[in-house]
Structure 1
Amino acid sequence: MANYVLVAGAWLGSWAWEAVAAPLRAAGHEVHPLTLSGLAERSGEPAGQQTHVRDVVDEVERLDLRDVVLVGHSYSGIPVGQAAERIGDRLRRVVFVDANVPVDGRSFSDGWPVADEIAAHDGFWPPLTAGDCAGQGLDEEQISRIVRGATPHPGATLTEPAELKGPLSELPALYVKCLLDGEDPGPAVTALLEGERWTLVRVDTGHWPMFSQPAELARILAGAAG
Structure 2
Amino acid sequence: MVNFVLVAGARLGASAWGEVVPHLRAAGHGVHPLTLSGLADRQGVPAGQQTHVQDIVDEVERGGLRDVVLVGHSYSGIPVGQAAQRIGDRLARVVFVDSSVPADGESFVSARPDGGAALEAAIAGGGGFWPVPPAAHYDGEGLTDEQIARLVRGSTPHPGATLTEPAVLSGPLGALPATYVLCVMPGTAPEDAEPDDEVAELLNGESWRLVRMDTGHWPMFSRPCELAQVLLDAAAE
Structure 1 residue aligned with 2:91: 91
**Aligned Cα RMSD in Å?**
0.9
C-alpha contact 1:124 1:153 (8 A) present in aligned 2: yes
Structure 1 residue aligned with 2:175: 170
Structure 2 residue aligned with 1:210: 220
* 1:43 CA displacement: 0.5
**1:198 correspondence with 2:208:** yes
Matching residue's letter, 1:99: S
Shifted more, 179-188 versus 49-58: the winner is: 179-188
Matching residue's letter, 1:161: P
Structure 1 residue aligned with 2:80: 80
Structure 1 residue aligned with 2:64: 64
Q: Quick one: percent identity of the two aligned structures? A: 66
Partners in 1 of 2:63 and 2:17 — Cα distance? Answer: 19
Matching residue's letter, 2:148: I
- Encode CA deviations 1:80-121: one digit per residue, 9 max, x unaligned: 000001001000000000000000000000123211110111
Structure 1 residue aligned with 2:128: 123
C-alpha contact 1:98 1:185 (8 A) present in aligned 2: no
**1:109 correspondence with 2:87:** no
Structure 2 residue aligned with 1:15: 15
- Encode CA deviations 1:134-180: one digit per residue, 9 max, x unaligned: 10000000001111110000000000000000000000000000012
Q: Which of 142, 145, 150 is the matching residue for 1:137?
A: 142
TM-score (norm 1): 0.98
* 1:185 CA displacement: 2.2
Structure 2 residue aligned with 1:35: 35
Partners in 2 of 1:5 and 1:183 — Cα distance? Answer: 28
Q: What SS class does the counterpart of residue 78 from structure 2 fall into?
A: helix
Matching residue's letter, 1:108: F
Partners in 1 of 2:133 and 2:148 — Cα distance? Answer: 10
Partners in 1 of 2:171 and 2:111 — Cα distance? Answer: 21
Matching residue's letter, 1:24: L
Matching residue's letter, 1:50: Q
Partners in 1 of 2:15 and 2:233 — Cα distance? Answer: 23
C-alpha contact 1:178 1:205 (8 A) present in aligned 2: yes
Structure 2 residue aligned with 1:160: 165
Shifted more, 202-211 versus 184-193: the winner is: 184-193
Partners in 2 of 1:4 and 1:128 — Cα distance? Answer: 29
Partners in 1 of 2:173 and 2:111 — Cα distance? Answer: 18
C-alpha contact 1:70 1:93 (8 A) present in aligned 2: yes
* 1:184 CA displacement: 2.6
Partners in 2 of 1:128 and 1:185 — Cα distance? Answer: 25
TM-score (norm 2): 0.94
Partners in 1 of 2:181 and 2:78 — Cα distance? Answer: 15
Partners in 1 of 2:141 and 2:153 — Cα distance? Answer: 17
**1:189 correspondence with 2:199:** yes
Structure 2, unpaired ranges of 5+: none
Partners in 1 of 2:235 and 2:146 — Cα distance? Answer: 31
Structure 2 residue aligned with 1:26: 26
Matching residue's letter, 1:56: I
Matching residue's letter, 2:45: E
